[in-house]
Amino acid sequence: MGHFEPIGFADKQGCSITLRAAAPDDAGKVLNYVFQILSMDPFMLTTPVEFKMTEEDEREWIGDTLKKENDLILLAEDEHGEVAGLINLHGGHKRRMAHTGSFGISVRRDLRGRGIGKGMIQALLEWANRNRQFEKITLEVFSTNHAAIALYRHMGFEQESLQKRQIKLEDGEYVDLIGMGLFLKK
């Protein structure tokens, strides 16, 4: 993983947020956070039943990411050192897609709407802009996640694709999946 210098910012309520690269020693707290998000968030692809990672798996995933120049995992921590959000970027690992990166993001439910997601995306985009490899950043989002779509549009992302009925929820309802992209300014 390329170098990421920790940054601090205040959310919309004035609470201090620290954004830093994840380390293998964070595996336990990341795992607990992911289980919490998966069990409470209707906009995640992975369901809690499918998520089988152990703390050792998580430690290995973070460690492997640290070794790659075009991958990044950032933790947002609140004033108490608790995980407030997580964003991870994976660069294209095929030569013809090496100029692209795709990210996923989550913010703890009780902290949403306070600018934490925006702060994480801004930091990720600044990091990607410094990384000469990246020219384009992409993401996928449930069509029903209106708040996230509004944030991504505000950050400059544009819709590039629509996969109709791509997601089938447990109750049988279908949701479209929107692909969005942003070309970086180099």
What distance in Å separates the CA atoms of residue 34 and residue 158, rounded to the nearest whole number? Answer: 27
How high is the pLDDT of residue 15? 96
DSSP state letters, 15-75: -EEEEEE--GGGHHHHHHHHHHHHHH-TT-SS-TTT----HHHHHHHHHHHHT-TTEEEEE
Longest dimension (CA), the chain: 45
How high is the pLDDT of residue 186? 64
- Position 122 confidence tier, pLDDT thresholds 50, 70, 90: very high
- Position 125 confidence tier, pLDDT thresholds 50, 70, 90: very high
For residue 121, the SS3 value is helix
For residue 2, pLDDT beyond 80: no
Burial group, residue 81, by CB count within 10 angstroms (0-12, 13-18, 19+):
exposed
What distance in Å separates the CA atoms of residue 34 and residue 50, rounded to the nearest whole number? Answer: 12
How high is the pLDDT of residue 132? 85
Where do runs of H (alpha helix) occur along 50-143? 55-66, 116-130
Q: Per-residue pLDDT tens for 127-145?
A: 999 988 999 999 999 999 9
How high is the pLDDT of residue 1? 56
- Mean of pLDDT values over 87-98: 95
pTM over 0.85: yes
Q: In terms of pLDDT, which residue wins out, 162 or 1?
A: 162
The mean predicted confidence, pLDDT, of the chain is 95
- Mean of pLDDT values over 67-87: 96
Q: Per-residue pLDDT tens for 40-63?
A: 888 999 999 999 999 999 999 999
- Position 3 confidence tier, pLDDT thresholds 50, 70, 90: confident
